[in-house]
A and B are shown apart, each in its own frame.
Chain A
Amino acid sequence: MISRARGGRRLLRIAAAWCVAVLWAFPLLYMLLTSFKAEADAVPPSLWLAHPTLQNYEIVLQQQILRYLEDSAIISVATVAICILVGVPTSYVIVFGRLKKADNLFFWFLSTTLLPPVAMIIPVFLLFRVLGLLDTLGGMILIFSGVNIPIVIWMIRAFLLDVPREILESADLDGASRLRSFFSTIVPLCRQGIVSIGLLVFIFVWNEFFYSINLTYVNAAPVPVYMAGFMTQEGLFWAKLSAISTLVILPPSILGWFAQRSLVKGLTAGSVKG
């Protein structure tokens, strides 16, 4: 009797968990559903997919979205590459180099990312205007690298600290230079960390809104800017809106799914056990 009651309660708990999850993701699930509806069926809302169609995707993929997707891809990939190439070695030097007050350096880097970006946007905007960087891919890569390099330096620290000192010392004894031991020991040992931090930076940059909306107009505008404009122009074409939204959230969602194992460690920079 007791075990049956327990089994029933367990079943109830599982059902509740599923309900919570479906409700929480409901806006996204419903968006996915709507993206396969004919435009005429999109309003009023219904959970029934009467005439499944791919025509929304066909239509939106012929609009300018491709150019924005391309801009976003270029900006994100270039930023990730720069951030990893600069951030990982810098963090390595701070962790393993015998610097005085290394922790202060970390906090200094971190302090730039603690603050709301409004503190920097006006000088950055004026500087970009003078240098002709407004609305250019190069300008966006520059600003996103500047914002994310400190985050990479900070996040990779947690993974570097996990590398046993003895391994490095034995590499030293073998006569390997610090540069060589960086590539032969550190990089392979922290590969998982480097990859997941790279994915996180990609997601941050792909989704970034504030700098994108203020520093670009047409020529170098990434996807979020397009979405904000699409909303005001064609906000009532829900099926097309859903198709396009589904497309643009797909890359970060997939990458995030792959990164989820190291996500907590990366996001909290190792300040909690994950």
Chain B
Amino acid sequence: MAVITQAPILVTIGLSLVQWIVVRPDLGVTFVGLNNYIDILVTRDFYAVVLNTALITLISLAACTVLGILFGLMLNQDFPGVSIVRTLVISPFFVMDAVAGIIWRTMMLNSSFGFNESLASLLGIKPVDFFGVYSLLTIIILIVWQWTPFFVLIMLAGFRSISVEISDSARVDGAGWWRELLSIRLPIIMNHIEVAILLGMIFVLKVFGLIFVTTRGGPGYSSANLPFYVFRLAFLGWDVGHAAALAMVTVAITLAAIFVLFRWFRQRFAEASS
């Protein structure tokens, strides 16, 4: 079982060491050592894509965390229709990437016919070019829209686990709402926040469908992340060797990110409890 699950990655490593362009059978399959890796590391596109991936991940996780906490607080109250409000906020999470991308690309952000245009003309400005200059921002908006619900669910579970007495006693001590939030409630749900960020990062680093349906990584590579870059090399260029090498670099970066975040959380946790 263990071998089966990891075998594809071993094959990918093997493929990353050969030159194999499927649409050029005349070149054959030849062993080229680490040349594929070197080729990737000297292209400028690679660094642009790595930067995109980092920006997408950092900005969307930050936004999801803040919004997740705010919406979590909002839903942790009792008011008429709270379950409808919760359902509405969570709903984007169950929408497939393909549909989410389509709705945003057409009715919302389309600069000739969408709400983008009608809002802009209402304000007397030019519509925002969401699929040109701001394509990376568009991807981030979509990820935040889709993944904030996930953060909300976890934060809400966190806030619900806090007993009423704790926040009441803080009130009695005269702590204001903000003070109580920052120094009592957030520290208590820190574990929830960390889990949300860690899982969120794992998912955001894999994002593919949203990009495929909206910007196709373009213009150029301006809104491509690492998975999309691999896809372009593998299934549009049929360049197996380079795609496999890039896939392994992606794996290395992903593992490093997970590892660093995990270590950091662990350390912080150890300090807090000692």
Residues of A near B82 (CB, < 8 A) are 17
Known: A24-B89, A115-B9. 6 other contacts (CB 8 A): A27-B100, A30-B115, A207-B96, A224-B97, A231-B213, A273-B161
| Segment from A58-66, A163-171, A177-185, A247-255 that makes contact with B | A247-255
* Known pairs A116-B251, A124-B8, A228-B213; A28 contacts B103 (CB<8 A): yes
A85 on interface, CB distance cutoff 8 Å: no
CB distance from B181 to the nearest CB of A (A): 15
Contact B98 A44 (CB under 8 A): no
CB distance from B260 to the nearest CB of A (A): 14
Interface residues of A in 228-274 (CB under 8 A from B): 228, 230-231, 235-236, 238, 241-242, 245, 248-249, 252-253, 255-257, 260, 263-264, 267-268, 271-274
Interface size class of A (residues with CB under 8 A): 35 or more
Interface residues of A in 107-161 (CB under 8 A from B): 108-109, 111-112, 114-126, 146, 150
Contact among B74, B93, B191 for A272, CB-based, below 8 A: B191
Contact A112 B5 (CB under 8 A): yes
| Segment from A48-56, A188-196, A208-216 that makes contact with B | A208-216
CA distance A106 to B90 in the complex (A): 29
**B191 (CB) vs chain A CBs: closest residue:** A272
* A residues apposed to B, CB below 8 Å: 10, 13-14, 16-18, 20-22, 24-25, 27-31, 34, 43-45, 108-109, 111-112, 114-126, 146, 150, 203, 206-207, 209-210, 213-214, 223-225, 227-228, 230-231, 235-236, 238, 241-242, 245, 248-249, 252-253, 255-257, 260, 263-264, 267-268, 271-274
Contact A249 B94 (CB under 8 A): yes
Contact A209 B208 (CB under 8 A): yes
CA distance A17 to B83 in the complex (A): 11
CA distance A18 to B81 in the complex (A): 9
CA distance A29 to B87 in the complex (A): 12
Interface residues of B in 51-90 (CB under 8 A from A): 71, 74-75, 77, 79-82, 84-90
CB distance from B166 to the nearest CB of A (A): 14
Interface size class of B (residues with CB under 8 A): 35 or more
* Known pairs A252-B96, A272-B158; A119 contacts B209 (CB<8 A): no
Contact B153 A44 (CB under 8 A): no
Residues of A near B131 (CB, < 8 A) are none
B136 on interface, CB distance cutoff 8 Å: no
* Known pairs A14-B80, A214-B235, A249-B99; A24 contacts B113 (CB<8 A): no
Can you pick out 21 interface pairs between chain A and chain B where the beta carbons lie within 8 Å of each other?
A: A13-B79, A21-B86, A24-B89, A27-B145, A111-B6, A116-B227, A119-B8, A119-B248, A122-B247, A123-B7, A123-B11, A207-B94, A225-B98, A231-B102, A253-B94, A256-B94, A263-B153, A268-B199, A272-B158, A272-B191, A274-B154
Contact B91 A253 (CB under 8 A): yes
Residues of A near B86 (CB, < 8 A) are 21
Contact B102 A245 (CB under 8 A): yes
CA distance A21 to B77 in the complex (A): 14
Interface string of B233-255 (1 = CB under 8 A from A): 01100001001100110110011
CA distance A18 to B85 in the complex (A): 6
* Known pairs A20-B74, A123-B8, A245-B103; A272 contacts B157 (CB<8 A): yes
CA distance A185 to B12 in the complex (A): 43
Contact A45 B107 (CB under 8 A): yes
* Known pairs A43-B113, A272-B195; A119 contacts B89 (CB<8 A): no
**B152 (CB) vs chain A CBs: closest residue:** A24
